[in-house]
Amino acid sequence: MDPFSALSLAGNIIQFVDFGAHLLSSARELYKSPVGSLAVHDEVALVTSDLEMLVSRLRSSTSPRLDSEASEAEWKALRELCNEAAVVADELLKRLGTLKRSAKGKHRKWESLHLAVCSLWNEKEIKSLLDRLITLKEALKTRILFSLREHLGLQAARTSAQFNSLDKQTQHILSAILQIHDNIGSKVSQQINKEITGITITLSQILSRLGPTSQEPHKLHLQNRHAILDAICNREDIPHPKAQEVIAGIELLNVSEFSEQRLRNKVQTTILEYLKYEEMTNRFEDVTEAHPETFEWAFSAPAEEQSWSDLSRWLKEGDGVYWVSGKAGSGKSTFMKHLVDDEQKRLHKLLRIWARDSPLCIATFFFWNGGTSLQKSQSGFLRALLFQILNEYREQYPELIPFVFPMEWLTLYSREIAWSNGEHEWTLSFPIIWKVAHLKKVLRSVSNQTIMPLKICFVIDGLDEFDADDDEYEALGAFFQDITSLKNVKVCLSSRPWVVFEDLFSGSPNLKLQNLIYRDIEKYIHDKFYQNNAFQKLISRDSAAARGLLAEIVEKADGVFLWVKLVVRTLLNGLRNRDDLSDLWEQLRRLPRELKPLYNHLFGLIEPYERWASQAIQILRCNRDLCNAPSDRFKLNQSVGPITISEFLFAMSVNLPISSIDNMTRGEFQLKCEDMKLRLTARCAGFLEVSNVPGTSVMGPTSLINYFHRTAKDFLESDEIWAKLISETEGTDFDSSVALMRSYLWYIKTQIVFSAELAENFIYKDVEAAPQAVAFMACAVRADPHVPSRGMQTNLIDQLNDLICNYDKGGNWLYSLVPHLQGRCTLLEISTLLGLKGYLRDKFTNLHESQLKSTATSLLRFVLSNVTVSNFLFRDVEILSLLLESVSNGGSSYREISNTLQAAQHRLLQFRKCSGDLFQSELHCIQSLESRIEEFLHPMQSSLGPQSSPTKKTSRGDGRYRLRCSSQ
């Protein structure tokens, strides 16, 4: 027997063990029908039929067939396990036979198969059978699978009849898995051994699920099974499920092609969902569309007097990298979007010539320095490209995903089988965590694979927007050069002409955008002014002076499209104010020719709305900082997304009472958002802008707010300008985090008001169901140190709790904040863990002395009982001190508090012992907690007298603390 046939047989035994264990010990249904539970005698018939087929397969597999790959001892061990499994199966069949006969008579009607089975054996017999099943499974894992894996590999696959009988898709999947097996098989470590065992088990599951279907015994079994199912369906006293809809809860034998494909599709979809992220295409969608009839030259050959590489020719027949460079504001992003989004699909048509008969994929990514961390990182860039390629060809080439993500595919495949079998543990590590080095390797693998002869063109905008230092820029550039060394991959990318990019790409085909857009700028200026009625009147009075004004703008632009847009917008505003030509000329002369001085000029226009604009810009930056902040202990900030116009509306509406939302209609809400967009544009001098709703050409409540341009962000967040903005709100109770708290609270209220199916839709089951509430608390944690807004913070937190608790009676929303805690929690308890010291102090001041002691004592018990939970270390020494001080003035509960403090000391000691090496920050935290506990515990024990057990002081020099080298 070749190793793959043996592995398939081992998989059958594993499935039998799971099936038998559930049959004997679980109330879980073994067969499912879409119309409900099957009758007990029907389940018995199906169990018996499947077990009989399994016994037949096990018996037929024990004939002495050997090959050169497996030793006599290995084959003998597997044969013994087959025999033992067959013996246990025979015992099950024998007892089930009596149940089958009784089911036909007038005996007791069982409510479930489990209860019926329990009547066949006593407790001791069931335990004995379960022990034998567990022994079988462990023997397979530790002896047989360990031995078989020595004979697995790509070389063995090529000579395996079992492997060659599989369909091509499955062969590709197994080849990728075996490649991992071959790569790590020579390495020795406990973790590696665990991974290889997990791989081997999953291989056995795949092979056993796709067992032989052409052999005569299997055909007879299928006929028998269909007869049973037809009998069930034709019975008049029950609804009629279709035979194929009655499925096994635990697959005992091989499954149908449909069932296997459904499982693979689910695994494939899950991997794609892990690659995908919400803001993946936001930047591309936010980039301004090219003005009509501009950038058309890009699809034509260069004129003789122009020195740039023919882009259309490179698309048709070139290779490597094509570099679009341009100085800040020259319109690079708009140009790159025009290439991809051209209505005539010229990019695709030209690349189609290059690809010839091969499948073509065009994958894009637009870096955005003002966006979230994923929008400006290698991880986000690589995930986006991989998602586009794999998602486009998921149906045409379903084996591609497991081929390039074999370990992730294996992990999810084994998890799905485990879950379908009612288990919650599986053999491979989880969850999937994307690392840049791994993603680069996978992208190269996708580009270099031979499953399908794919041609790929990457269109990458804004390499200078990538948040990195020069070394990382060089590494990314080297990656592009490496991947384009493959003849089926080419990259068109854009960036500013920085030295690091000059060094990397100066030898590649390229163009300098600012040198080629003179006519485009001229076209834009001409159209904007000639479409203005006021300007038409000025032309009729003095056409030469009017045309001269436009020509002057073109000359001053010096190839910076952004400068042109700002100047044109300023002059058109002058026309709306009835400026004449002399006024316009004067304005143009005053406007600086460089972007930074121009921004300084525009910043001066904010003056009438300085405080309002300052608050708006601070809110935008606070939101972005929360999006980009490293995950905190509770990962609250992961629920904070880019700010929308509706969230911004609420953040800025300080004087609008929340009760005003009660009677607001969706139409009124839309109008308020449109009004806020106008105010935002006017009062911030155009530095901030509102995008359209993703995927549409209209503005709506979900439209995102962003800086007008990267250069606008850099200007506003420079030290000098930022200091001016902050000075506008100093000495007030404004805090950007508090503004965002109000925003999320009001957004939740609107969802309640607008929800037509409130009871079904507004239940906080987990963190995914309550993202705004979690984001609110992330802002609350950030705002807590801000004393001037203390009262406002407390009021907002209480409002949120009251609002949600009206619809979430079970307090699930609080559980979603710290999901690893056991049981329900109160808002005050959660506040202690989140470190909301200001909120706690505020609540404590409103309590009478007896209430304060009782509340603080209860919270202290809660904190100390959760000082270490699920490998989480409570770190807030200030919270602990606050609670200890609140209970230290009374003696009635000293003994209980003393015991609680000693228990916490013990937990901290255990945390040290079980956590291995500690970071310096963790060590310092433990020492601080222990010191604070000891400081309060000692006088308590003195007042309690000799009845209290002395607390052992913890030595900090006994060598039990081991430090990990870390900057933390």
Per-residue confidence (pLDDT) for residue 900, from 0 to 100: 67
Per-residue confidence (pLDDT) for residue 238, from 0 to 100: 47
Assess if residue 345 is contained within a domain.
Answer: yes
Is residue 757 domain-shared with residue 841, that is, in the same domain?
yes
Q: Is 492 strand, coil or helix?
A: strand
- Sorted by sequence, the CB contacts under 8 Å of residue 829 that are 6+ apart come out as 859, 862
Task: Identify the burial level of 933 via C-beta atoms within 10 angstroms of its C-beta, where 0-12 means exposed, 13-18 middle and 19 or more buried.
Answer: buried
Give the chain's domain count: 5
Write the CA distances from 877 to 150, 881, 898, 927, 931, integer angstroms: 54, 6, 18, 10, 10
Per-residue confidence (pLDDT) for residue 44, from 0 to 100: 76
23 pLDDT band (50/70/90 cuts)?
confident
What is d(CA 84, CA 58) in angstroms, rounded to the nearest whole number? 10
Q: Which two tokens stand for residue 432?
A: 């999937």
- Sorted by sequence, the CB contacts under 8 Å of residue 396 that are 6+ apart come out as 359, 452
- Is 426 or 224 the better-scoring residue by pLDDT? 224
- Of the three residues 846, 865, 887, the one that is the final residue of a domain is 846
pLDDT at residue 550 tops 50: yes
**Structural element, H or E, at residue 944:** helix 920-944
What is d(CA 665, CA 750) in angstroms, rounded to the nearest whole number? 9
- Is 908 or 252 the better-scoring residue by pLDDT? 908
Is residue 828 domain-shared with residue 750, that is, in the same domain?
yes
* Structural domain boundaries enclosing 66: 3-166+210-255
Is residue 683 domain-shared with residue 539, that is, in the same domain?
no
Is residue 624 domain-shared with residue 489, that is, in the same domain?
no
- As beta bridge partners, residue 490 has 320, 457
Is residue 66 within 8 Å of 1, Cβ to Cβ? yes
Give Rg (Cα) of the chain.
35
pLDDT at residue 325 tops 90: yes
- Is 455 or 73 the better-scoring residue by pLDDT? 455
Per-residue confidence (pLDDT) for residue 739, from 0 to 100: 96
pLDDT tens profile 107-136: 556 667 777 777 888 888 888 888 888 888
What is d(CA 966, CA 256) in angstroms, rounded to the nearest whole number? 53
pLDDT at residue 185 tops 60: no
What is d(CA 381, CA 385) in angstroms, rounded to the nearest whole number? 6
Query: What average pLDDT is seen over the chain?
Result: 79
Assess if residue 187 is contained within a domain.
Answer: no
848 pLDDT band (50/70/90 cuts)?
confident
Is residue 655 domain-shared with residue 752, that is, in the same domain?
yes
462 pLDDT band (50/70/90 cuts)?
very high
Assess if residue 473 is contained within a domain.
Answer: yes
What is d(CA 497, CA 494) in angstroms, rounded to the nearest whole number? 9
Assess if residue 179 is contained within a domain.
Answer: no
Is residue 509 domain-shared with residue 538, that is, in the same domain?
no
Q: Which two tokens stand for residue 939?
A: 């006088």
Is residue 526 domain-shared with residue 672, that is, in the same domain?
no
pLDDT at residue 416 tops 60: yes
Is residue 509 domain-shared with residue 524, that is, in the same domain?
no
Q: Which two tokens stand for residue 781?
A: 């944690």
pLDDT tens profile 233-246: 555 454 444 444 44
Assess if residue 841 is contained within a domain.
Answer: yes
pLDDT at residue 399 tops 70: yes
Which DSSP string corresponds to 286-306?
HSPPPPTT-SGGGGSPPPTT-
Statement: the pTM of the whole predicted model exceeds 0.85: no
Q: Which of 522-536, 645-659, 909-923 has the highest mean pLDDT?
A: 522-536
Percent of the residues in the chain that have a pLDDT greater than 90, as a whole number: 39
> What is the CATH classification number for the domain harbouring 313?
3.40.50.300
Assess if residue 470 is contained within a domain.
Answer: yes
Is residue 700 domain-shared with residue 614, that is, in the same domain?
yes
761 pLDDT band (50/70/90 cuts)?
very low
Task: Give me the torsion for CA of 175, 177, 180, 186, rounded to 10°.
Answer: -90
Is residue 833 domain-shared with residue 897, that is, in the same domain?
no
Per-residue confidence (pLDDT) for residue 64, from 0 to 100: 47
pLDDT at residue 925 tops 90: no
Task: Identify the burial level of 425 via C-beta atoms within 10 angstroms of its C-beta, where 0-12 means exposed, 13-18 middle and 19 or more buried.
Answer: exposed
Assess if residue 265 is contained within a domain.
Answer: no
Is residue 227 within 8 Å of 171, Cβ to Cβ? no
Task: Identify the burial level of 799 via C-beta atoms within 10 angstroms of its C-beta, where 0-12 means exposed, 13-18 middle and 19 or more buried.
Answer: middle
Q: Give the end-to-end CA distance of the chain in Å, rounded to a whole number.
A: 56
- Is 734 or 6 the better-scoring residue by pLDDT? 734
- As beta bridge partners, residue 705 has 690
- Of the three residues 559, 591, 623, the one that is the final residue of a domain is 591
- As beta bridge partners, residue 873 has 868
Reference 243, options 252, 256, 253; nearest CA is: 256
Q: Picking from 3-7, 171-175, 392-396, 487-491, which range would have the lowest pLDDT averaged per residue?
A: 3-7
pLDDT at residue 379 tops 90: yes
Is residue 364 within 8 Å of 458, Cβ to Cβ? yes
pLDDT at residue 85 tops 60: yes
Nearest-10 crossing angle of helices 543-557, 581-590: 10
Give the total residue count for the chain. Answer: 968
Percent of the residues in the chain that have a pLDDT greater than 70, as a whole number: 72
- Sorted by sequence, the CB contacts under 8 Å of residue 154 that are 6+ apart come out as 175, 178, 179, 182
9 pLDDT band (50/70/90 cuts)?
confident
- Is 500 or 208 the better-scoring residue by pLDDT? 500
Q: Picking from 392-406, 667-681, 745-759, which range would have the lowest pLDDT averaged per residue?
A: 745-759
- Of the three residues 461, 478, 513, the one that is the final residue of a domain is 513
- Is 586 or 84 the better-scoring residue by pLDDT? 586
Is residue 629 within 8 Å of 778, Cβ to Cβ? no
Mean pLDDT of the region 743-754: 86
- Is 708 or 756 the better-scoring residue by pLDDT? 708
Write the CA distances from 623 to 321, 454, 737, 779, 892, integer angstroms: 36, 40, 8, 9, 47
Mean pLDDT of the region 848-853: 84
- Sorted by sequence, the CB contacts under 8 Å of residue 81 that are 6+ apart come out as 10, 13, 136, 139, 140, 144
Q: Which residues of 802-825 are buried (b: 16+ CB within 10 A; e: fewer)?
A: ebbeebbeebbbbbbbbeebeeeb
Q: Which two tokens stand for residue 58?
A: 């096990």
What is d(CA 737, CA 646) in angstroms, rounded to the nearest whole number? 16
What is d(CA 868, CA 474) in angstroms, rounded to the nearest whole number? 43
Alpha helices in 421-469 (DSSP H): 436-448
Per-residue confidence (pLDDT) for residue 251, from 0 to 100: 53
Residue in the block written with tokens 């917008």: 569
Q: Is 137 strand, coil or helix?
A: helix
Is residue 871 domain-shared with residue 819, that is, in the same domain?
no
Per-residue confidence (pLDDT) for residue 661, from 0 to 100: 82
795 pLDDT band (50/70/90 cuts)?
very high
Q: Picking from 383-397, 423-437, 762-776, which range would have the lowest pLDDT averaged per residue?
A: 762-776
Reference 504, options 479, 477, 482; nearest CA is: 477
- Is 413 or 241 the better-scoring residue by pLDDT? 413
Is residue 828 domain-shared with residue 933, that is, in the same domain?
no
Q: Picking from 58-72, 140-154, 317-331, 619-633, which range would have the lowest pLDDT averaged per residue?
A: 58-72
Assess if residue 136 is contained within a domain.
Answer: yes
65-70-74 Cα angle (round to 5): 90
Q: Is 964 strand, coil or helix?
A: strand
Per-residue confidence (pLDDT) for residue 474, from 0 to 100: 87
Q: Tell me the CB-side half-sphere exposure of residue 127, using CA atoms within 13 A.
A: 3
What is d(CA 36, CA 790) in angstroms, rounded to the nearest whole number? 56
Task: Identify the burial level of 13 via C-beta atoms within 10 angstroms of its C-beta, where 0-12 means exposed, 13-18 middle and 19 or more buried.
Answer: buried
